[in-house]
Chains A and B, each alone.
Chain A
Amino acid sequence: MPISEQGYRHWPGTLVERRRPWAPITRLGVKLAFKRKYFKFVLGLSLLPALIFSVGVYISEKIEDFKFMIRGRSQFLTVDPAYFKAYFTSDFLLFMMVMIMVLAGAGLIADDLKHNSLQLYFARPLRKRDYLLGKMGVLSFFLLLQTLLPGLLFFLLKLIFSGSLKFFAQYPGIPLAVVVDSLVLTVFFGLYTLFISSLGRNRRFVSIMLFLVYIFSDIFFGVFFGIFRRPVFCLLSIKANLQQVGSALFGVSGPYDVPWIYSALILAALAGAAAFVLLRKIRGVEVIR
């Protein structure tokens, strides 16, 4: 008998209570991101700095062999906290993180709103926080791939290429700084993306907003700084605040003469506000219309 004529059959199994109910949401989100046009290319491009910095770590240990290339600029190849800070606060890395968020994160909530799928999620044994954690997991996967993984890799490569633990003894705080800065970047950008994604039902609108807010915050800083010549306006810029906090975590002075704690407070306030609005927004649509 063909299966189509067998009719409905009961499922003999038992439903289980998952310890990580958000995991299927993250898995599907990651899978769908890879299906997006240009995503693999952009992800590859975003990992380019990691490759270059890894090569830099190698060269730093073989500096004598590469003297002909370096021509007296060996200070750029000194692997120390400033080297890590240079990676974590580079304009290119931060920009590529925004690109990844646009491609992988813009539709995370917007698509669910547009296609009414929230009610399907919440008709399941899922809490609001499970849903948001699942979506956050998608962003975390890609953002940590750009930050935590390369950061720890540089450290490991340095230890491997140097063949001793001297580097670790000299800078024991670097792994922790890598972890904390990766988490700061991931949590901030994750909440930022989910917040903007929850504001609209159109992925394109969300993508544009993700870009505009990031870029314009920096442009405003540039304009005000140009007029008033006061570095305190760096607090207007998302990028500058992330750079200030990143520099502080690696124990290096920030690019702007403003206490880093202000930047940290601004980022925390923005992330907190985003989380607050997200929880309210998701509650608002958690209904059958």
Chain B
Amino acid sequence: MNIELKDIHFSYGPVKALDGVDLSIGEGACGLLGPNGAGKSTLLRILLGFLRPGRGEGRILGRDILHDQFAIRRLVGYMPEDDCLIPGLDAVTFTAYFGELSGMPRQEAMKRAHDVLFYVGLGEARYRLIETYSAGMKQRIKLAQALVHDPKLLFLDEPTSNLDPQGRREVLELIKDISSKKDIQVLISSHILSDIEFTCSNVVILNKGRVAAQGEIQALKQVDYSLYEMKIKGETETFIRSLRQGGCRVEETEEGLLKVYMPPGLQRDGLFRIAARENIQIRHFVRSQTSLEDLFAKTVGVD
């Protein structure tokens, strides 16, 4: 396992941020999802060694998070969410500088900075001052500084924020390339679920400081519940109420489509029986391909 956490607790004063987090993250890219206040940032802070958990233990790439923080930081690359730069520096000096701070010899860091900048698509702009970069270029330079020392594990915090669709696609392709072919493990914290779905094979969903779900995205989508979409004619409110009484979770879209999350015990015919009882005509009924949004909404209990 690349990341293993056991019973991690952390509080900001009286506020519990993490409440007994147990995690096992293996190979490949993993998404870190959760609503605001779920504890994602706190978890990343603990993984990077910025914060010391109140209780619990953990290992990253075999290193103890409590005692081997420096070793961990050498093996980990971190791309923060905020724009980060040092004014007056061009991209190549900036990237080489952080390579050097990671422990690379000076000349090696400079050579490597050139390579990495070409890789992230900033090769032609590498001698430009970073403060003159566009939002998309700033995202790329952050990725470059995270990659410069060739980390084994990459933490990406909202890697596609502030990007236009084209830039977003390109950055996602880079992340996918890194995680799928370059034996670098990636942990992506993002609010954009489609980004996670595109780049990651695994996901950890945090809610209220606890792990609400974790595992392979495909498996999670199939095992936990069934999702059906239907269009009906009749008294919608009464029908929805009856479905909820039967243990279903129901969402109504703006187009009048009902998304019904079936609990594990309830069979498909149960829906029809409820519809018949309530004099409801079902005009459209399809088993939905569950998306990560559905999984997220189901797990966290938000739309």
B-contacting residues of A (Cβ < 8 Å)? 3-4, 6-11, 13, 15-18, 21, 24-25, 28, 32, 35, 107, 111-112, 115-117, 119-126, 286-289
Contact = CB atoms under 8 A, between A and B. Distances in A.
B118 interface: yes
A244 to B, nearest CB: 38
A117 B85 contact: yes
Interface stretch (B75-83, B159-167, B193-201): B75-83
Given A3-B115, A122-B50, A287-B45, A111 B86 contact: yes
Given A122-B50, A123-B77, 12 more contacts: A7-B181, A8-B181, A10-B182, A15-B104, A28-B89, A32-B88, A115-B86, A116-B82, A120-B80, A124-B98, A125-B71, A288-B80
A8 B77 CA distance: 15
A115 B87 contact: yes
A117 B87 CA distance: 10
Nearest to A114: B87
Contacts of B157: 288
A115 B101 contact: no
Interface stretch (B52-60, B144-152, B225-233, B264-272): B144-152
Contacts of A28: 86, 89, 93, 97
Contacts of A32: 86, 88-89
Nearest to A23: B100
Contacts of B177: 7-8
23 contacts: A4-B121, A6-B118, A7-B119, A7-B181, A9-B115, A13-B104, A15-B149, A16-B104, A17-B70, A18-B103, A28-B86, A32-B86, A35-B88, A107-B87, A117-B84, A117-B85, A119-B78, A119-B80, A122-B48, A125-B70, A125-B102, A288-B45, A289-B41
Contacts of A8: 119, 147, 177-178, 181-182
Contacts of B112: 11
Nearest to B116: A8
Q: Is the interface of A mostly helix, strand, loop or mixed?
A: loop
Contacts of B37: none
B172 interface: no
Interface residues of B, number: 49
B4 to A, nearest CB: 21
B219 interface: no
Interface in B168-194: 177-178, 181-182
Chain B CB within 10 A, most for which of A25, A35, A107, A289? A289
Nearest to B83: A116
B103 A17 contact: yes
Nearest to A15: B103
A115 B74 contact: no
**Which 8 residue pairs of A and B lie closest in terms of their CB atoms, listed nearest first?**
A15-B103, A11-B150, A123-B78, A125-B70, A116-B82, A124-B101, A24-B100, A116-B84
B51 interface: yes
A119 B73 CA distance: 12
B224 interface: no
B118 A4 contact: yes
A11 B108 contact: yes
A125 B103 contact: yes
A17 B100 CA distance: 11
A279 to B, nearest CB: 15
Contact of B48 (A4, A7, A115, A123): A123
Interface string B241-255: 000000000000000
